[in-house]
Structure formats: structure tokens, C-alpha cells
């Protein structure tokens, strides 16, 4: 089972100063900043997935890449641009959620293939159109006409994509068919048609909102038509505890940003371990807290006092990690900062568990070893992304454990 991490230009600066919260004046982001596979000693993923919509933009607006970055990707190719080791493979896709509201996908087959093959991707997913619905009991006769139309669009593009990819005779590129559906039966029908076209690898799309049992229902139905040589990729699905079961149905890879994004998007599960998850310690910068800034400007809070409490909170946390301060002292400082910063919600009870168990001390990843308690402080992109990278390394370890149990 291979895990692909979707790119969104997430890097960290190796020279970032955590004490003063500032970057080096000599930093050049693309040259100096590092990806997860460059800052972790262990490989955090088996592959990277890159969407054309992220690179080139879509009808929803420009992508995540500047013009200089986009030109550099096309010039160097995906392997050199991301400085990937040989054992990290690449997969391209169109980023169908970026044009989900459109009548038709905004790309031609030729444009997409030029992107995939021109950038040197090992594999690429055919142009597809997401179906934002699921009804396990829906039959062909009663299915929404828009669902059927979108499936037909995906299959039509899939056939053209496979035919066009055959013209790249000297390429090692592998075409991946995109299957869209709204029920187990419709997914099976899409897979059957893609196999008949000649696809040996198929990406199952639109399953992100589905429950695990729904995915298994679809895979069970697909089993009736699946060829022994067909491999499946789950687009955007992270259900690690079910991956062994998914593998029995031909799933060999998946991609997701969920472990990374939970580091700074989830309310509670910010720092992962192989058995559980912890709340990160929220110490937002005074000048980055809109509610606190408004209170300071209104004269309700002293800016000097707020900065003093912020500094004391960070000192208490670092002292705890160094063995010179206690958990109780750190919690007292955090409670005071919550009050001063006018937090809408208190996390003190969760902080007591996080600080009491200190999971970063038992982590084998190189980031936790290097940064200590800084990795679990919820504060700015440099700490938050490092915590996300840590979560990726935990996911990879969990996958290996599950596969060999």
C-alpha cells in the first residue's frame, strides 16, 4: 500500500528562529525551504500527488504556484523540482474539485497530458468530473440525470485520455483511469468500462465524504467486475485502520492531506501518535490575534501586559521541556494567556493531558528530536507545518505496522 501526499507548496524554513519568531534576512523560499521528505529522517510518504489546478490555476482562480515556480516545475520536471529521492514516486491529477461547479472540465486531454508527460510524472489520472452525491440504493433508472451525465463525461475523457497517452511511445508514463459514481453499482459499472478500454490502474474519485462502510460496499460491488491485474487508488481517502481490508479488494494506493491539515485545522487532534492524538498548545502571537488586537486598540487590554503574558507562557513551556518549570506552572501561564487573549474556548483540561504525557519526548521522528516542545505549540506556520510533517511520519509508521501485523 502506497501513501501519496498531495502538494500544496508546503515547506518549512530550516533557519527559522523560534525564540524570536523571525526568518533569516537571507532566506530565499524556493532555494532554502524544505519539504517533508527533506526534514524527516524517515520517509513520510511513498509518493507525491500534484494537481494541474494547483500549478496552473483553474476557473476558481490562480493556483498555489507563482509564475516563476510554475516555469521552474516545467523546466526541471517534477522529480528535480521537489528534490525527490528515487524511491518517492509521483502522480498527477487535474484537481477536479476546483472545477466542480462547471458544466465541463476546463482542460483538454492534450493539455493534461502535456502537463503530466512534460513534467515527468510516473503516472497521471484521466480528466474527470466529480459527482457530489451518494445513494447506495439508487438504480440506473431513477438516478439523477446530472449524476449520469458527469459519469459519462468522465468516461468519455477517460477513453480519449488513454488513446492519446499511447502516442507517447518512449514514455514510462502510466495512464490512470478515473472512476466516478454515486452508488456501489454505478462505481462498478464505471470500473468495468475503464477496464474494457484498457486501464490497469484506476483511481476511485468522489469518495472523500463517504463512510468507511460505504467505501467497502463499493469495493465489494466492484469485486464482481475487477480483473486480477487491476489496481485501485483512493483519491483523498485516509482510513488507515481499514487499509488492510481495502487492500483485499485491489486498493494499492491512496492520497490525503488530512493528517497534515489536522495539525492546525482540527479542534483537538493536532499532534498524532501511533495510538492516539493530542491537542496542540495554543499560544497565538499577540499581533496575530484579531480579537486581542481589537481589545488593545479599544483600550480594554494593555498591549504591554499582553506581550508580557505571552512571553511568560512561552518561557514556562520551554522551562517545562528543560526541566526547570512544572506542568502546574505552565498550565497557570496558559490559563492567564487564555484570559488575556479573550479565547472563546478553554483548552486547559486538554493541555494538562498533553503536557503531562509529553508525547514529543517519546517520538522517534527527527523533527520532535530537534525542536522538542516547539513542535506541539500551535503558533504560526513554521511550527504548525512541522507538526503536520510529524503527523505524516506517524501515518507512514502506522501503515507499515498494519501491513505487517
- How far is the C-alpha of 221 from the C-alpha of 41, rounded, in Å? 41
Residues whose CB is less than 8 angstroms from the CB of residue 321 and which lie 6 or more positions away in sequence, other chains included:
358, 372, 373
Averaged pLDDT of the chain: 93
Output the CA torsion 70→84→258→201 (10° steps).
90
405 pLDDT higher than 50: no
Query: What gap in Å lies between CA 170 and CA 184, rounded to an integer?
Result: 37
* Fold type of domain 46-256: TIM Barrel (3.20.20)
| Region 261-279 average pLDDT | 97
Whole-number Å distance between alpha carbons of 107 and 127:
8
The region of weakest confidence among 44-48, 210-214, 222-226, 293-297 is 293-297
Cα separation values, 377 from 109, 368, 386, Å: 45, 12, 10
Structure confidence at residue 403 (pLDDT)? 59
Closest to 330 measured CA to CA, from 361, 288, 373, 362: 373
In 3-state terms the chain splits into helix, strand, coil percentages (rounded to 5) of 50, 15, 40
Q: What's the confidence (pLDDT) of residue 77?
A: 97
* pLDDT tens readout for residues 291-345: 788 888 888 888 888 899 999 999 999 999 999 999 999 999 999 999 988 788 9
pLDDT above 90 coverage of the chain, percent: 81
The gap from C-alpha 286 to its chain's centroid, in whole angstroms, comes to: 29
Q: Which residues are catalytic?
A: 93, 255
CB burial readout 14-53, b (16+ within 10 A) else e: eebebeeeeeeeeeeeeeebebbbbbbeeebbbbbbbbbb
> Could you state, in order of their start, the residue ranges of all structural domains in the chain?
46-256, 264-400
Q: Tell me the range of 129-143, 300-314, 337-351, 370-384 where mean pLDDT is highest.
A: 370-384
Q: Any idea what DSSP says for residue 127?
A: P
Amino acid at each position: 500500500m502506497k501513501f501519496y501526499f498531495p502538494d500544496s507548496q508546503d515547506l518549512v524554513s530550516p533557519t527559522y528562529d523560534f525564540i524570536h519568531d523571525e526568518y533569516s534576512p537571507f532566506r530565499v523560499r524556493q532555494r532554502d525551504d524544505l519539504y517533508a521528505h527533506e526534514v524527516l529522517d524517515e520517509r513520510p510518504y511513498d509518493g507525491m500527488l500534484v494537481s494541474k489546478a494547483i500549478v496552473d490555476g483553474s476557473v476558481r482562480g490562480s493556483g498555489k504556484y507563482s509564475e516563476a515556480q510554475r516555469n521552474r516545475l516545467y523546466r526541471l520536471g517534477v522529480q528535480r523540482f521537489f528534490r525527490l529521492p528515487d524511491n518517492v514516486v509521483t502522480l498527477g491529477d487535474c484537481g477536479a474539485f476546483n472545477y466542480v461547479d462547471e458544466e465541463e472540465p476546463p482542460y483538454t486531454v492534450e493539455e493534461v497530458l502535456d502537463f503530466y508527460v512534460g513534467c515527468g510524472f510516473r503516472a497521471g489520472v484521466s480528466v474527470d468530473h466529480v459527482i457530489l452525491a451518494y445513494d447506495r440504493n439508487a438504480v440506473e433508472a431513477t438516478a439523477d440525470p446530472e449524476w449520469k451525465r458527469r459519469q459519462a463525461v468522465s468516461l468519455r475523457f477517460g477513453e480519449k485520455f488513454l488513446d492519446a497517452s499511447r502516442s507517447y511511445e518512449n514514455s514510462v508514463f502510466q495512464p490512470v483511469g478515473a472512476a466516478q459514481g454515486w452508488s456501489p453499482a454505478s462505481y462498478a459499472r464505471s470500473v468495468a468500462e475503464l477496464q474494457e478500454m484498457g486501464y490497469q490502474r484506476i483511481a476511485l474519485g468522489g469518495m472523500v465524504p463517504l463512510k468507511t462502510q460505504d467505501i467497502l460496499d463499493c469495493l465489494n460491488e466492484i469485486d464482481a467486475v475487477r480483473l486480477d491485474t487491476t489496481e485501485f487508488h483512493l483519491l483523498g481517502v485516509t482510513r488507515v485502520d481499514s487499509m488492510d481490508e481495502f487492500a483485499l479488494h485491489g486498493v494499492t494506493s491512496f492520497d490525503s492531506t488530512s493528517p497534515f491539515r489536522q495539525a492546525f485545522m482540527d479542534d483537538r487532534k493536532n499532534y498524532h501518535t501511533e495510538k492516539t492524538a493530542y491537542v496542540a498548545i495554543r499560544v497565538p502571537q499577540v499581533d496575530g490575534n484579531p480579537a486581542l488586537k481589537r481589545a488593545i486598540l479599544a483600550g480594554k487590554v494593555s498591549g504591554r501586559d499582553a506581550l508580557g503574558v505571552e512571553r511568560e507562557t512561552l518561557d514556562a513551556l520551554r522551562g517545562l521541556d528543560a526541566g526547570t518549570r512544572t506542568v502546574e506552572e505552565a498550565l497557570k501561564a496558559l490559563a492567564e494567556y487564555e484570559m488575556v487573549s479573550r479565547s472563546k474556548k478553554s483548552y486547559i483540561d486538554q493541555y494538562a493531558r498533553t503536557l503531562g504525557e509529553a508525547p514529543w519526548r517519546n517520538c522517534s521522528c527527527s523533527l520532535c528530536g530537534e525542536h522538542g516542545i516547539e513542535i506541539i505549540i500551535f503558533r504560526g506556520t513554521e511550527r504548525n507545518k512541522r507538526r503536520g510533517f510529524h503527523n505524516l511520519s506517524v501515518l507512514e509508521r502506522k501503515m507499515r505496522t498494519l501491513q505487517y501485523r
